[in-house]
Chain A
C-alpha cells in the first residue's frame, strides 16, 4: 500500500479509515463514575466518538487517571499540512562533530559570556556546561567545539579582546536581566563593538535569554537570537549551519 498519492487520511488502528487513537490523562475528580464520565465528555469534545474509557484508577483521593480509546471524527487533509521548515537541520552531537571535522578541519572556537552587570549565568551555563539542559549535554561535550566560558559581568571591550585572542568563530552572549531594556542595549553595544573593531571578519554573534524574541536579530545587530527553552543541541546545530554557510559565501 502506498500513501503518497493520498490527500485525505485518518489515524490507523487496524483497518484503513477507522480513525482509532489512544489517549491518557488525569482529571482532578475522585475515582468513580463521575470521573469516567468527565473523561468521556472531554474525549468527545476532542472529536473522539465513540470514546471508550478502557481503564481508570485513583491517584490519591482527589485524582483519577484514565486511558481512552476511540475513533476520531476528524479528517487529515495532507494538502493543508504546513511543515515548519527550520532554517537548519537539527543534528546529533555525533553529526555536529562529523560535519565540523569535514567543513572546518579544526575545532570550532566558541566564546561565551554574560555581559554588562548581569550576574545570571544560568542561561549561558545551561548551553555551555557539559551538564547541559533538558536532557541534552552542553556544548563543552562536543569534541569538535572548543568552548571558552568567560562567566558573568564581562565588559564588552574584554569580550572583544578575548574573542580576538582565542580567534573565536562564534560569540555567545546571555542576558537575563531586562531592567530598563538592559538586555537590548547591552547586546547592541556588543554588536557595534565587534563591527567597529573587526568589520566583516567579526565572529558569528549569537544572543540568548528568556526575554529575547528570535525576530529581534536585525534590531540587535546579531546573527541569531535564541529565546526561552532553547537547548544546547539547537544552538550547536545552528552554529554548524552558520559556519558552513559563511564559508560558502566567503569562497
Chain B
C-alpha cells in the first residue's frame, strides 16, 4: 500500500512538473530557443502570489488568476521588446540574454524578499483528503491542482491544433520567413507564445509554492526539472511534457520511498536512462 501511495503522490506531483515544463517546451517548439529564466519566472510568480495573498488576506488560489495574467502580460512585452531582437539563425544570443535575465531576477528577488525560504499557505484546504482505498489517501488539494494542470495542458493542446492562433504558432515554427511572407506578424506570434508559456509557468509556480518551499535562488533547480520533463517526454510536444512530468514525479516519489535521499537522484537517473536508451523522448514529437 505504501508503494501505491507513493505512486499516486508521484503522479499528482508529475502533473505540476508537466505544467512547469510545458511553457519551456512551447517556446522551444516554436522559436527554437531555450528560456534560461523559465525557472525564475516560476519563482517570481510564487512570490507575487504570496505578496498579493498576504496583502489582501486571501488564499493564494484566489489571486492565481491575476498573477497568471500579470506574468503572461510581462512575458508578451519581454518577448516583444527584448528577446525578439536576439532571435536569428544563431540560438546563442537569446540563450545568453535569458541567462542574464535569470541572474537579474534572482538578485531582484533577493533584495526584495531576503534569502529566507517560504511557502504559500493554502489554509485549511491543505488538510483535506480522500481515502480512495484502505491505506491510500489522496489529498484534495494535490488532486485539484493535478486536475487544473491537466486541464491547462489539454487546453494548450487544443489551442495549438484547433485555433487560428495555434495555426499561426505552428506555421511560424515550420518556416518563419514564409510565415511572414504570408502576412503573419511573427514578432506578435512569438510574443503570444511567450505570454502563454509565462502564464502556464506562473500557475505551476503557485502550485509548486503550495507543495514545497521556494526562495530567490530556487529557479535554476525548477528549470532543471522542466528540462528533464521535456527531454523525457520528447522536445516540443505538449502531451510529451505531460508524460515526462508524470514519469519524473513517479520516479521521484518511488525513489523517496526507497530512501528519502533518493528522491531527486531517482528522477535524475530516469532522465539519464531515457537519454541513453531513447534520446528522442518516450513520446516522439506527435506531429512532425
The answer to whether A and B interact is no
**What is the interface of chain A, defined by CB distance below 8 A to chain B?**
none
**What is the interface of chain B, defined by CB distance below 8 A to chain A?**
none
